Amino acid sequence: MQGEECILLIARGVIVAALLYALIRLLISRSSTTIDRHRLPPGPRGFPVVGSLPSLGDMPHVALAKMAKIYGPIMYLKMGTLGMVVASTPDSARAFLKAQDTNFSNRPPNAGATILAYNRQDMVFARYGPKWRLLRKLSSLHMLGSKALEGWADVRSTEVGHMLEAMHEVSRRGEAVALPEMLVYAMANMIGQVILSRRVFVSKGKEVNEFREMVVELMTSAGYFNIGDFIPWLAWMDLQGIERGMKKLHSKWDKLIGNMLNEHLKSTHVRKAKPDLLDSLLANRDGDHEEEIKLSTTDIKALLLNLFTAGTDTSSSEVEWALAEMMKNPSIQKRAHEEMDAVIGRERRLLESDIPKLAYLKAICKEAYRKHPSTPLNLPRISSEACVVDGYHIPKDTRLSVNIWAIGRDPDVWEDPLHFNPDRFMSGKNAGIEPAGNHFELIPFGAGRRICAGSRMGMVMVEYILGSLVHAFRWELPPGTAEMDMEETFGLALQKAVPLAATLTPRLPSHCYAAS
């Protein structure tokens, strides 16, 4: 019996020791976790496994803005198995996008970048490095830079002329104008002429609407918080069906861009005197070029996808929001008309050279950027190394989201932020603020190394197109419409939930609406 008791005592001792060891390890783990949490920015506890993902809902920018009021301007969220830090004020945005710009110069991998953007071979999601710099350099040199923009001013003028002519015809028939279709038609043709030396659409109709639907679907689906991106071991299940939709959409875009590329290759001789952007990209792919890196056909397709989608969607949505606010606030539209009549008169169309003299128009554009930023949450970035921001520890591989929408509606930054008031930019402390990425109170295009490459183009197109539409017409709600619907739809770009339709009254002589 003594031997059996001895064995039993030893067994009990081993069990007790094992339990004590497990308890000590648990206490140490909890202690270190507590210490680590004290070092991390504050934030919600979240749910087991999924973290704070369910808390974001259908309008993540709004949910995150509400959280920031509780946890502060820099907050840390557990998103599935990953960490995300959110900056919600100008100072916190500056701390990341300026002081830590190099460390946060890359994008995190996600389904949208992998499926839609040709496995991150585009300019938006490419890793920060030689290929990204080459794509940006070629795009700037031939399309997006200041000198390039001046070179295709006549293209913008011609396409705006076509749009005004079409709108004038609709107004003469007494019909309401469907603005989004008109804007996409004009902007896609502008971009097509610079990239491909030809208009993408000859006439409006089914083809234009399908293109717009593809653009909106891409910008919407790419903005989703996809469960598989944050809980990788669940990615194969595609619980939300997002990836299935992305694959179908990518096939449509790949076919469209492939057709553009093939048609372009058949007509090279036509453009020898004046090569376009695609000619330059193909020269890098095929010829002896001074660049270290050669672009592949897939790289070129990915870049064209960026330019056609972001180039049409973000600018068109900004013009749409600005006009909606002006229709909701007739006194603002009246004042814009008075300024334009004094500067331009009513005997000719607005010219781009008029815009520097139209201070109130520029203020309207800034106010639209503030209240309705085309990108409510900046495209995500990821930390290459651990760092300290405002005394908080930010671990390596932490995703960064800057809530541009929240910054624009922060009452500590803007007086009466929910009121659309262009006068806030006409004088006082805000008069010198510009949306080019240097003033963190107004960063609709982001800031730092990964600022939107098309920010200059976006500002030029928004000011010129909005100014032309306002100068040419008086904008009113269609008969029977009680009030303007200002609901939002979330995506990479902030869409108006109900597309803008308006009744137009021409303000200029008929000859001003001729496309030529």
Q: Which residues are annotated as a binding site for heme?
A: 452
**Looking at the chain, how many residues does it have?**
516
Helices (H), 173-205: 179-196
Asked if residues 340 and 472 have their Cβ atoms less than 8 Å apart, the reply is no
For residues 67-78, one letter each, b for 16 or more C-beta atoms within 10 angstroms of the residue's C-beta and e for the rest, the string is bbeebbbbbbbb
Nearest CA among 231, 209, 265, 202 for reference residue 52: 231
Over its C-alpha atoms, the chain yields an Rg (Å, rounded) of 27
Q: How far apart are CA 212 and CA 147, in angstroms?
A: 29
Q: How far apart are CA 314 and CA 455, in angstroms?
A: 10
For residues 108-133, one letter each, b for 16 or more C-beta atoms within 10 angstroms of the residue's C-beta and e for the rest, the string is bebbbbbbbbbebbbbbbbebeebbb
Number of neighbouring beta carbons within 10 Å of residue 239? 13
- Write out the binding residues: 452
Asked if residues 300 and 282 have their Cβ atoms less than 8 Å apart, the reply is yes
Q: How far apart are CA 131 and CA 127, in angstroms?
A: 8
Cα–Cα distances (Å) from 497 to 49, 61, 183, in that order, read 32, 15, 16
Q: How far apart are CA 464 and CA 362, in angstroms?
A: 10
Say if residue 471 is exposed, middle or buried (CB neighbours under 10 Å; 0-12, 13-18, 19+).
buried
User: Token pair for residue 45?
Assistant: 């506890």
Q: Is 504 helix (H, G, I), strand (E, B) or coil?
A: strand
Asked if residues 445 and 458 have their Cβ atoms less than 8 Å apart, the reply is yes
Say if residue 379 is exposed, middle or buried (CB neighbours under 10 Å; 0-12, 13-18, 19+).
buried
Number of neighbouring beta carbons within 10 Å of residue 25? 10
